[in-house]
């Protein structure tokens, strides 16, 4: 990278600076901040596009803890985008009673209510913790349809711990307004996620029958139409070599 040493007047010098990049005109501190992604290794259970080479990341890759961009390990040094925290609209805190402000002459809006809006959702931090520390893939397909998938190789003790953490997250976000659709084998410990469970499993290595797909869709539509706050959670244990739901 071409660079040049500069000598600035004392009044403008500030902190010690030794060089500036002639390509992008960034000072070293600014250049470091621009590339300050915090990557961690992640095994992608479903296809993910590398943000650098645009090729598919099939297995192990890197994902930024802050902005969530993904790349191959070999492409890490080529990442040039800035690290901007991702905004998760689907997990923003919901409320049945939106904040109301009464403006009168000379009055100002409550700073406390504005501060509460700036605070990160507890559900967002819970979701990040689940993804980083547990063997699961939790995905908001839409605001009201959630997929929870576990690899079939997960140990029973770990699986039970995962279920408890997912149940805690779902209750904190949706209360009791979620119905669980189990697409794997019937097992009673799934009731930890929610006592309301509908079993729609089918044999492994087979596609579901058409009438079963229709039954799932009808049940989902009935539940979602009953209350605007209702959500469905699709549970699935998948083979390591197979695609996620």
Average pLDDT, the chain: 69
Q: Which residues contact 224 (CB under 8 A, 6 or more apart)?
A: 144, 230, 231, 232
**Structural domain that includes position 43:** 37-86
Tell me whether residue 118 is exposed, middle or buried, using C-beta atoms within 10 angstroms of its C-beta: 0 to 12, 13 to 18, 19 or more: exposed
**CA-to-CA distance for 70 and 63, rounded, in angstroms?**
4
**188 plus 205 within the same structural domain:** yes
Q: H/E element holding 156?
A: helix 156-174
* Digit-coded pLDDT (tens) for 109-153: 434 444 444 444 444 444 454 455 446 677 888 889 988 887 776
Read off the CATH number of the domain in which 64 is found.
3.30.60.20
- Its pTM stands at 0.47
Q: Alpha-carbon distance 16 to 226, whole Å?
A: 64
Is residue 111 included in any domain, yes or no?
A: no
Query: Between these two residues, 161 and 232, which has the higher pLDDT value?
Result: 232
Asked whether residue 231 falls in the same domain as residue 131, the answer is yes
Instruction: Work out the pLDDT band at 174, boundaries 50, 70, 90.
Output: confident
> How many Å apart are CA 61 and CA 165, to the nearest integer?
25
> Quick one: 221 and 142 in the same domain?
yes
What are residue 182's phi and psi, to 5 degrees? -95, 115
Position 126 in a domain:
yes
Q: Among 168, 158, 167, 169, which residue's Cα sits nearest to residue 133? A: 158
User: In total, how many domains does the chain have?
Assistant: 3
Query: Three-state DSSP class for 14?
Result: coil
What pLDDT does residue 85 have? 62
Tokens coding 167: 């149940």
Q: Using an 8 Å Cβ cutoff, are 231 and 145 in contact?
A: yes
């Amino acid at each position: 990278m071409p660079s040049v040493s500069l000598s600035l007047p004392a009044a403008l010098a500030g902190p010690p600076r030794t060089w500036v990049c002639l390509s992008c005109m960034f000072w070293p501190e600014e250049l470091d901040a621009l590339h300050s992604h915090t990557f961690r290794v992640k095994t992608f259970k479903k296809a993910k596009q590398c943000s650098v080479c645009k090729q598919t990341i099939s297995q192990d890759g890197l994902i930024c803890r802050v902005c969530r961009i993904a790349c191959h390990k070999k492409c890490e040094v080529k990442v040039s985008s800035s690290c901007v925290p991702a905004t998760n609209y689907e997990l923003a805190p919901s409320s049945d009673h939106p904040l109301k402000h009464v403006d009168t002459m000379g009055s100002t809006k409550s700073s406390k209510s504005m501060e509460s809006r700036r605070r990160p959702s507890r559900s967002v931090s819970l979701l990040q913790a689940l993804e980083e520390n547990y063997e699961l893939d939790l995905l908001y397909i839409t605001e009201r349809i959630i997929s929870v998938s576990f690899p079939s190789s997960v140990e029973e003790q770990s699986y039970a711990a995962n279920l408890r953490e997912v149940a805690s997250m779902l209750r904190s976000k949706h209360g009791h307004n979620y119905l669980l659709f189990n697409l794997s084998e019937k097992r009673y410990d799934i009731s930890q996620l929610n006592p309301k469970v509908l079993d729609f499993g089918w044999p492994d290595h087979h596609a579901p029958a058409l009438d079963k797909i229709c039954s799932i869709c009808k049940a989902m539509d009935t539940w979602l139409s009953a209350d605007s706050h209702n959500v469905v959670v699709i549970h699935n244990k998948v083979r390591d070599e197979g695609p996620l739901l």
